[in-house]
Amino acid sequence: MRAKRSKQYKKLIQQYQIHHGFREPYQVLVDADLVHDSERFTMDLQAGLERTLHGKVKIMITQCCIRHLYARAKEPGMNRAIDLAKTFERRRCGHRPDKFEEALSTLDCLTHVVDEKGKGENKHRYVVATQDQSVRRYMRTVSGVPLIYINRSVMIMEPMSEMTAKVGASAERAKFRSELRKSAGEKRKRDDGEDDGSEDGSENDDEDNGDDGDDKTAKDDKAEEKKKKKKFGVKGPNPLSVKKKKKKPAEGANSTKPKAANDDTPKKKRIRKHKAQPADGAAPAAAPVATEA
């Protein structure tokens, strides 16, 4: 059971990393009650948070939350909680005693700290560890706030809130769509290439279908089109092979009539040219050979 939960939390924090930019060390805002409860249950708060979040943790406490602890200093066991809280990094919330005679409620203070501008964003990527249900309820409406609380000495990380999951899902969808577009683009290129190669085949299929359903005149028209297309199709590959054949006779035709003779003559010509060039007898020597053959 415990291993299963640990696995779930690991997955959960990975989601926060991927979609909400969380990085170690995770900044965990704790409230007075959570610090107090961790002392009551003699839990190692730092170790517990690091086990839960599967990574290094920096615990922070706001000025208001530490004032909540001081306000209850006379309660049993509160001194240890205060001593512990003093070791955490103080998050300046700006609710100083000279301006605010009483500390703000955990809800008001943490709301201000996490979502300062009320945009529903966890800009500084805090993890909120609070025993206050109203705070957790509010934080579920802010996207990307991992929520932790202690339940009977067991540390619990809440599943992603709907809001957070939505943001993550839309980010994932956008990613998925862009990847789809990419792969579709590649596919299209590939398909285009195939279409170019198999155009004749696809056209034939269309024509067959048309022949089955259309009138004679339409058939004739189409048949003509077919022939034209087919001719073009046949002509397409043929010129490449024909041209090569044409080129040879064209080159050879410069000299004289028979093809067999022409094929032989240029070779002899070339040989004689090499020999003849120094001797200056190239033109007279070549002409008689061509006529002889």
CB of 86 to Zn ion, least distance (A): 17
Using rule CB under 5 A, residue 66 touches Zn ion: no
Residues 225 to 284: which contact Zn ion by CB under 5 A?
Answer: none
Q: Provide the token pair at 164.
A: 């957070």
Nearest to 110 by CA among 146, 84, 136, 76: 136
Q: Which of 109, 114, 155, 167 binds Zn ion (CB under 5 A)?
A: 109
Q: Which is nearer to Zn ion, 53 or 114 (CB)?
A: 114
Among 64, 81, 127, 286, binds Zn ion (CB under 5 A): 64
Binding span for Zn ion by CB under 5 A among 39-47, 59-67, 79-87, 234-242: 59-67
Q: How far is the CB of 156 from Zn ion (least distance, A)?
A: 25
Binding residues with Zn ion: total (CB under 5 A): 6
Selected binder of Zn ion within 52, 62, 106, 262 (CB under 5 A): 62
Shortest spacing between CB 104 and Zn ion, in angstroms: 5
Task: Please check whether residue 52 is in contact with residue 154, taking contact to mean a CB–CB distance below 8 angstroms.
Answer: no
Q: Which of 19/95 has CB closer to Zn ion?
A: 95
Contact 122, 142 (CB under 8 A): yes
When the beta carbons of 49 and 64 are compared against Zn ion, the nearer one is 64
Q: Which is nearer to Zn ion, 59 or 290 (CB)?
A: 59
CB of 64 to Zn ion, least distance (A): 3
Would you say 109 or 167 has its CB closer to Zn ion?
109
Provide the minimum distance between the beta carbon of 187 and Zn ion in the complex, in angstroms, as a whole number: 55
83-102 residues near Zn ion, rule: CB under 5 A: 93, 95
Angle at 192 between CA 189 and CA 194, to 5 degrees: 115
- The contact mask relative to Zn ion for 138-177 (x = CB under 5 A, - = no) is ----------------------------------------
Quote the CA–CA distance of 209 and 212 in Å, as a whole number: 5
> Cβ(27)–Cβ(61) under 8 Å?
no
- For tokens 């979502």, the residue is 115
114 contacts 122 by C-beta, under 8 angstroms: yes
Q: For Zn ion, give the closer residue by CB, 20 or 95.
A: 95
Helices (H), the chain: 2-20, 32-40, 45-53, 63-71, 78-86, 106-114, 133-139, 162-197, 199-213, 216-235, 237-253, 259-279, 282-292
Taking the complex as a whole, the smallest distance from the CB of residue 153 to Zn ion amounts, in Å, to 28
The DSSP bridge partners found for residue 263 are none
Q: Which residue has the tokens 């596919």?
A: 187
Closer by beta carbon to Zn ion, 41 or else 100: 100
C-alpha triplet 151, 157, 161: angle, nearest 5°: 120
Burial state string for 236-255 with b = 16 or more CB within 10 A and e = fewer than 16: eeeeeeeeeeeeeeeebeeb
- Minimum distance between the CB of residue 108 and Zn ion, rounded to whole angstroms? 7
Name the site residues for Zn ion (rule: CB under 5 A).
Answer: 62, 64, 93, 95, 104, 109
